[in-house]
Amino acid sequence: MTAFTPRSQLPYEPREFYNLAELLIDDTKYDEESRGRTSIGRAYYAAFLFAREKLQGLGERFSSDYRIHEEVITTLGERNHVAGSQLNTLRDHRNSADYSMRAIIHLQLCRTCLKLSERIILATEKLR
How does residue 128 score in pLDDT terms, banded at 50, 70 and 90?
very high
Q: Which pLDDT band holds residue 11 (cuts at 50, 70, 90)? A: confident
Q: State which amino acid sits at residue 30.
A: Y
Whether residue 37 lies inside any domain: the answer is yes
Asked whether residue 29 is domain-assigned, the answer is yes
Give the C-alpha separation, 72 to 88, whole Å.
Answer: 10
Counting residues of the chain whose pLDDT is more than 70, the rounded percentage is 93
Whether the predicted pLDDT of 94 surpasses 80: yes
Asked if residue 32 belongs to a domain, the reply is yes
Per the domain annotation, does 4 fall within a domain? no
Alpha-carbon span 39 to 97, nearest angstrom: 9
**Per-residue pLDDT, 1:** 42
How does the average pLDDT of the chain come out, rounded? 94
CA 53-108-80 angle, 5° bins: 30
**Is there a contact between 58 and 125 (Cβ–Cβ < 8 Å)?**
no
Q: Flag whether 111 is in a domain.
A: yes
Domain carrying residue 94: 15-125
Residues 108, 61: contact at Cβ < 8 Å? Answer: no
Structure-model confidence comparison of residues 62 and 9, the more confident one: 62
Query: Per the domain annotation, does 7 fall within a domain?
Result: no
Please tell me the predicted confidence (pLDDT) of residue 9: 65
CATH code for the domain of 116? 1.20.120.330
Question: What per-residue confidence (pLDDT) applies to 102?
Answer: 96
Domain assignment present for 2:
no
Query: In whole angstroms, what is the distance from residue 97 CA to residue 114 CA?
Result: 14
Give pLDDT, residue 2. Answer: 45
The confidence band for 93, taking pLDDT boundaries of 50, 70 and 90, is very high
> How many folded domains does the chain comprise?
1
pLDDT-based confidence at 6, cuts 50/70/90?
Answer: low
Q: 109: buried, middle or exposed (CB in 10 Å: 19+, 13-18, 0-12)?
A: middle
Rounded to an integer, the average pLDDT of 44-49 is: 98
Does residue 35 sit within a domain?
A: yes
